[in-house]
Amino acid sequence: MFDASFLPKCMSVIFLEWRLLQQCLLKLRVRQGFSCYMHHIHTQTSSSGGGKHQCNPTVTVDSMHYLSILNSSTNLNTVKQLHALTLVTRYHRNVFLETKFVSKYAMFGCLESARLIFHKSYKPDVFLYNAMLIGLSRSGKPREIISLYYRMRKSNVQPDNFTFPAVLKACGEIRSLQDGKEIHYHVVKSGFELNLFVGAALIDMYVKCQSVEDARQVFENMPTRDVVLWTSLIVGYVQNGCANEGLQLFHQMRLGGVNPDSLTMASAISACAQLGGLKEGKRLHAFVIRNGFELDLSVGNSLVAMYAKCGSVDVAHQLFDMMPDRNEISWNAMIAGYAQNGHAKEALRIFSQMLEAHNIKPDLVTMVSVLPACSHLGAFQQGTWIHDYVIRSGFELNVSVATALIDMYAKCGSVGHARQVFDKMPKRDVVSWSAMISGYGMHGHGKDALSLFSRMQQTGMKPNDVTFISVLSACSHAGMLDEGWRYFSSMSQDYCIKPRGEHYSCMVDLLGRAGFLDEALDFINKMPLEPHVGVWGALLSACRIYRNIELGEVAARHLIEIDPGHSAYYVLLSNIYSAEGRWHDVAKVRSMMRDRGLKKTPGCSFIEVNAKVHAFLVGDRSHPQSEKIYSMLEVLSGQMAEAGYVPSTNFVLHDVEEEAKEHMLGTHSEKLAIIFGLISTNSGTPVRITKNLRVCGDCHNATRFISKIAKREIIVRDLNRFHHFKDGFCSCNDYW
């Protein structure tokens, strides 16, 4: 809607330009005469006939001359000067010129001037309305477009096939299905429902309003369908998570003899990515090559993303390297591909290269893609640098980016920084709340997690199933059994959320950690769902803690039946046997693993020093500073022994002599990483370690002694949770 406050400003601009024009005309009269100047304008443009208007005793100007100059004008100043000249020559009331000026002003971003001309028009026709609607569309004013459309109808100006697409696009942008359906009714009444241009706009509107069924109905009612119409619906299916339907429609399109364009191909390939259909994706890749689409940027981006999401990251990188042109989407696809496939270091490396690339600037998607890589590695320093970049780039207020920052800080061991980000958010969604609750839970701050959950409920924000996973997990890590039962019941009773397998896993974990193993098994047997690997895995882990062989064998048997190719279950059962000295059973389990071609995942610990992530394996001597590490380890081992540390040899999983067991324990990956952190960081700064497996009992005990001797806080994140060691104590109170 027109804002009257624009009038003084616009009139002032026109008055000033008229004064400037007067000065220019005066100089021209002196040098050549005004009639010569107008003759010059006339000779520079093609004469098209039309009515004449007397603006000077010696000069006549044709409105078509103005239109011709306007059509060829490439800068705003020319448009303004011509506008001022039409005011002098009284051609500003010409509806054709008004339409052209509105279009030009809108094209150059001068929406105020366009509005002024439009609202001063004596009798705007459909062309002038369309020019204003399209101008508003260019400037991203969807609500004003819809308001202007209804004003147009009240003025009895009949919309045409150019009006409806602009208005339908606006409805889609603000997800206004009600307005969209009303305008669809107007389309039918106006007789444009079979127009391909309008039909594609209707499909696009329904797709953006997440009403794919209505979009399909429009599509089915069209007597003829071009590639734009087919592509609009295919894109709609893919964007609304109906990838299988989108792919089927693509094949129908080809069978119907309609050749796809680059957007169609990009959408079909994206459907394969959603479905994890590598085989079908490869077939489409071959089609792309045969039909010359491989140089198209959108198609190339879709192929990179498809291969990455299907786990073929190496192929994705090869395509990425071969692309003649890349944009932010290309880089984001590669970063996300590495991060989602567990290659966090490579994701950070690609991000560094992106920062150095010419004419490429990281965007919101980049931040959301790269921050999980920092989370995975516990790369606190790099995550902090990215946070600074986020602030400098103005992304900090974005909900998705802020949520990713919360998750990153929590997983890098600084729940305090995570809370600072959370508190600064001007707007939070359920994902933000869930991330912060989860952060408290993984650090063992159960009371803080439940307090925040209570505050979330008080604000009126409804928790979802993921929120309850965070809450139940927090109860489990803090040993809050009664609270866990209460919230598990509250899910269905208060929020009508049906528990999923993950919720049952949390409850089994909660019971198991508390030592109620028989109750956990009874809970599993009474589940309304078929127990999955998470449920039996939680019971097996509890059996490892409490050295319950009988139940451990039951859990392991179910796990191996469900997922015989996962080595972790065999290893856990082997650990239970080895802790009890049942080496014959250990040998049987290892033999079973060899027969099935399974290998134990090696324990690996990561530490970030000077923004570089270092990795250590058990007994690792490949690090450039290994000599210093082992020398420091020997000194520290002596100090630990004097302080009362005794190696827990029952955590050695091999039947060897006690001395050999002590040596094996002494070179576990987390111990090497901690020593490297002590010799590589300033005194008083925390040492942050990330391990890919659960911390063994001996390393947990040893780290308590190291924190007291070295007078350093040591933060260790293992597969399950965080441990904050300080002054000889751990935040988990040996409950993990």
Q: Write the pLDDT tens digit of every residue in 614-640.
A: 999 988 899 999 999 999 999 999 999
Phi-psi region of 612 (alpha: psi -120 to 50; beta: other; left: phi over 0): beta
Distance of CA 394 to the CA centre of its chain: 17
Which residues are within 8 A (CB) of 64 and not within 5 positions of it... i.e. 6 or more apart? 47, 48, 49, 50
pLDDT of residue 650: 58
- What is the pLDDT, as a whole number, of residue 169? 94
Nearest to 319 by CA among 346, 288, 277: 288
Instruction: Quote the CA–CA distance of 63 and 587 in Å, as a whole number.
Output: 97
Kindly report the pTM of this predicted structure: 0.76
Residue 574, both tokens? 């082997």
* 605 token code pair: 């610990």
Rounded CA gap, 209 and 188, in Å? 19
* C-alpha dist (Å) from residue 142 to 132, 133, 145, 174, 185: 12, 9, 5, 7, 19
The reply to whether 225-325 and 374-595 are identical in fold is yes
Tokens of 604: 């690996």
- Are 378 and 348 spatial neighbours (Cβ–Cβ below 8 Å)? no
Tell me whether strands 687-691 and 714-717 are parallel, antiparallel or unpaired. Answer: parallel
Helix, strand, or coil (residue 182): helix
Q: How high is the pLDDT of residue 91?
A: 55
Largest CA distance in the chain: 117
Q: Which helix (H) or strand (E) segment is 154 a member of? A: helix 142-154
Q: Are 666 and 633 in contact (CB under 8 A)?
A: yes
CA angle (476, 479, 485) in 5-degree steps: 65
Taken in order 376, 382, 387, 389, the sign of the CA dihedral is negative
Amino acid at 142: P
**Rounded-to-integer distance, Cα 93 and Cα 50, Å:** 16
Distance between CA atoms of 378 and 407, rounded to whole angstroms? 11
Contact 723, 730 (CB under 8 A): yes
Q: Which CATH number describes the domain made up of 374-595? A: 1.25.40.10
Q: For domain 225-325, give its CATH number from 1.10.260, 1.10.3470, 1.25.40, 1.20.80.
A: 1.25.40
Closest CA to 332 of 299, 368, 358: 368
pLDDT tens digits for range 255-287? 999 999 999 999 999 999 999 999 999 999 999
Is residue 148 within 8 Å of residue 132, measured between CB atoms? yes
In the chain, helix, strand, coil percent, each to 5?
70, 5, 25
R_g of the chain computed on alpha carbons: 34
**pLDDT of 658:** 47
For 527-633, list the strands marked E by DSSP: 604-609, 612-617
User: Would you list the domain boundaries of the chain?
Assistant: 1-118, 124-223, 225-325, 374-595, 604-730
Write out the H or E segment, with its range, that includes residue 549.
helix 549-562
710: its two tokens:
């070295």
In whole angstroms, give the CA distance from residue 347 to residue 292. Answer: 30
The pLDDT score that the predictor gives to residue 596 is: 87
Q: How high is the pLDDT of residue 108?
A: 83
pLDDT of residue 630: 92
CA distance 556 to 550: 10
pLDDT at 678: 95
Residue 339 corresponds to which amino acid? A
Which residue stretches of the chain have pLDDT < 70? Answer: 1-67, 88-93, 649-665, 735-736
pLDDT number for residue 651: 55
Cα distance from N-terminal residue to C-terminal residue, the chain: 62
Q: What is the pLDDT of residue 98?
A: 82
Rounded (10°) angle between helices 196-208 and 227-239:
0
Which tokens sit at 612? 């570089």
Q: What string of DSSP letters covers 325-356?
A: ---HHHHHHHHHHHHHTT-HHHHHHHHHHHHH
Q: What is the pLDDT of residue 57?
A: 31
Strand partners, 689: 607, 716
Q: Is the distance from CB of 250 to CB of 271 less than 8 angstroms?
A: yes
